[in-house]
Amino acid sequence: MQKESIYKQVEAEIYHVTEGENNIIANMASVSCLLNLAFEDFFWVGFYIVDPKKERELVVGPYQGTLGCLRISFDRGVCGAAAQSGKTQIVANVHDFPGHIACDSQTNSEIVVPVYNKKNELIAVFDVDSTKLCTFDDIDKFWLEKILKTVFEK
Ligand code: SME
């Protein structure tokens, strides 16, 4: 199946499951689970939450995959770059990204999307890692931004 069709299908499932649910952790767990099941290449799928008790630091949230690092400063890695800039980061080859945090050496490419609440405050970043190179493009950016906006800005 084409990437677009998979996103359309999984988007509908995500909206169905999270409709009327406002608990952030429950929604993060459901989004991670459904996207991980939908795409074969997705190897680590989950959230790093902005820690309200620490200055510019992310702490691991709900995810699917192998063990992720627990904390990431805004100054480090692809997740940090997404949190700092507030912009989606697409990395075709993580080995070329200065400061990439290798939680698992199987990761070769990744996308990280900032997640906002309805007050437009950054609450987390959503990180998807792939074992293949060059997995992510503007189609992933479009759909992931759309899904995260609908689920967390309501
Ligand atoms: N890829 C991230 C680190 C987190 S994990 O790989 C689960 C980064 O460089 O920001």
Q: Is the CB of 129 under 6 A from ligand 1?
A: yes
Return the sign of the alpha-carbon dihedral for residues 133, 13, 37, 30. positive
What are the b/e assignments for 58-80, b being 16+ CB within 10 Å?
bbbbbbbbeebbeebbbebbbbb
pLDDT tens profile 75-120? 999 999 999 999 999 999 999 998 888 888 889 999 999 999 999 9
Position 39 scores a pLDDT of 96
Number of domains composing the chain: 1
Give me the amino acid identity at 113: V
Q: For residue 47, what is the domain's CATH number?
A: 3.30.450.40
Tokens of 72: 């990431």
C-beta 69 within 6 A of ligand 1: yes
Length of the chain (residues): 154
pTM: 0.96
Given this model, what pLDDT does residue 49 score?
98
Q: Which of 48, 64, 78, 135 to mutate to test the pocket of ligand 1 (most atoms within 8 A of CB)?
A: 78
Whole domain around residue 144: which residue ranges? 3-152
Question: Is residue 114 within 8 Å of 87, Cβ to Cβ?
Answer: yes
Q: How far is the CA of 100 from the centre of ligand 1 (A)?
A: 7
